Amino acid sequence: MFETRHVEIHGHRLAYRRAGEGETIVLVHGMAGSSRTWRDVMPALAEHHQVVAPDLIGHGSSEKPPGDYSLGAFASSLRDLFDVLGIGRATVVGQSLGGGVAMQFAYQYPERCDRLVLVSSGGLGREVSWMLRALSLPGAELVLPVVAPAFVRERGNSISRWLRDHGVRQDRAAEMWDAYASLSRPENRAAFLRTLRAVVDPGGQAIDASDRLYLTQAMPTLIVWGDDDAIIPVAHARAAHEAMPGSRLEIFEGVGHFPQVEDAPRFVEVIEDFLASTPIDTPVAARVG
């Protein structure tokens, strides 16, 4: 149903998954992730909507060229994907790094973004996990091949498959493992570090959209976060909600950085309710102007 497809954009292969019909929802994953992070929610969402989940350039099955890995570049490539797939407008859902991309997309192309959903989003404050800050330091290129060698990935994948085959749910740990395991490949490490250093420095997140949140006041916005998020604190969700009059805030108790994986049924329920309660009849640009 959600097999991986590819398109070529500006000479580079970009992977995506697509299924369903109706109003379009675009799902944007986080750093070192891929469209697989949405695997537990895509089928349910596709029952009533067209769902598109890309692998951002430098991630998943997409090409990993040297170049620009800024939020603006990701937003532009998302716009290009819309054009190639014939998508006029969509609700854009972004998790972690994907939240920063979603916000940037909404700022750059408001006429293409019907609604905004920020899930454990980056770009809403300085604080971020110490590990990401450490990996932004010079010399991380030399450390990553040592801490993420291929044999560790292969052994870990075997254990993960065994657990899945025996019905053991892994949720948060599985998502963290997928991100870690991807760094055993040299091209993935290079793309990861380019992406990381575009948004994080040793002091924390280098990109903070808090002073521009008022620009989304005409756009229906949902903020979803886990209260046990050890990567980006839930305080960012509450501060963003206060700065965005009319936004909706959903805090998942006992959930970490991956609400779409750790509590997929509730995630789908919240998204569907948000869509149903915020009907879109005209583009945002027309509503603002």
Q: What does the pLDDT read at residue 171?
A: 62
231 pLDDT more than 50: yes
Q: What does the pLDDT read at residue 156?
A: 39
Q: What does the pLDDT read at residue 205?
A: 95
Tokens of residue 71, six digits? 């939020």
Closest CA to 124 of 241, 222, 274: 241
Q: What does the pLDDT read at residue 172?
A: 61
Q: What does the pLDDT read at residue 144?
A: 66
Provide the pLDDT confidence category of residue 38 given band limits of 50, 70 and 90: very high
151 pLDDT more than 80: no
- Higher-confidence residue of 143 and 69: namely 69
Query: Which region among 129-143, 146-160, 199-213 has the lowest average model confidence (pLDDT)?
Result: 146-160
159 pLDDT more than 60: no
Q: Which residues of 60-75 are buried (b: 16+ CB within 10 A; e: fewer)?
A: bbbbbbeeebbbebbb
Closest CA to 94 of 265, 271, 276, 266: 271
Provide the pLDDT confidence category of residue 50 given band limits of 50, 70 and 90: very high
Q: What does the pLDDT read at residue 131?
A: 87
288 pLDDT more than 60: no
Mean pLDDT along residues 151-175: 47
Report CA dihedral (261, 105, 103, 251) to the nearest 10 degrees.
-30
**Domain boundary assignment for the chain:** 5-128+206-288
Distance CA 94, CA 119 (A): 6
Q: Are 105 and 78 in contact (CB under 8 A)?
A: yes
Distance CA 52, CA 17 (A): 6
162 pLDDT more than 60: no
Q: What does the pLDDT read at residue 215?
A: 75
Give the up-direction half-sphere exposure of residue 41: CA atoms within 13 A in the CB hemisphere. Answer: 28
Distance CA 169, CA 165 (A): 10
- Fold annotation for 5-128+206-288: Rossmann fold (3.40.50)
39 pLDDT more than 70: yes
What's the distance, Cα to Cα, between the start and end of the chain in Å?
Answer: 40
Helices (H), ranges, 148-283: 150-165, 172-182, 186-199, 235-243, 259-262, 264-277
246-269 pLDDT, tens per residue? 899 999 999 999 999 999 999 999
Q: What is the CA radius of gyration of the chain?
A: 18
81-124 pLDDT, tens per residue? 999 999 999 999 999 999 999 999 999 999 999 999 999 999 99
Give residue 60's region: left, alpha or beta (phi > 0; psi -120 to 50): left
73 pLDDT more than 80: yes
Distance CA 190, CA 179 (A): 14
Average per-residue pLDDT for the chain: 86
Q: What does the pLDDT read at residue 148?
A: 47
Distance CA 66, CA 63 (A): 10
Which residues are designated catalytic? 96, 229, 257
Q: At a CB cut-off of 8 Å and minimum separation 6, what does 149 contact?
A: 184
Helix (H) or strand (E) holding 107: helix 97-108
Q: What does the pLDDT read at residue 90?
A: 98
Q: What does the pLDDT read at residue 143?
A: 67
Q: What does the pLDDT read at residue 180?
A: 63
166 pLDDT more than 60: no
What's the Cα-to-Cα distance from 127 to each of 79, 123, 235, rounded to whole Å? 29, 10, 10
Strand partners, 92: 26, 116
193 pLDDT more than 70: yes
Query: Quick one: what percent of the chain has pLDDT higher than 70?
Result: 83
Q: What does the pLDDT read at residue 46?
A: 97
229 pLDDT more than 90: yes
Q: What does the pLDDT read at residue 176?
A: 67
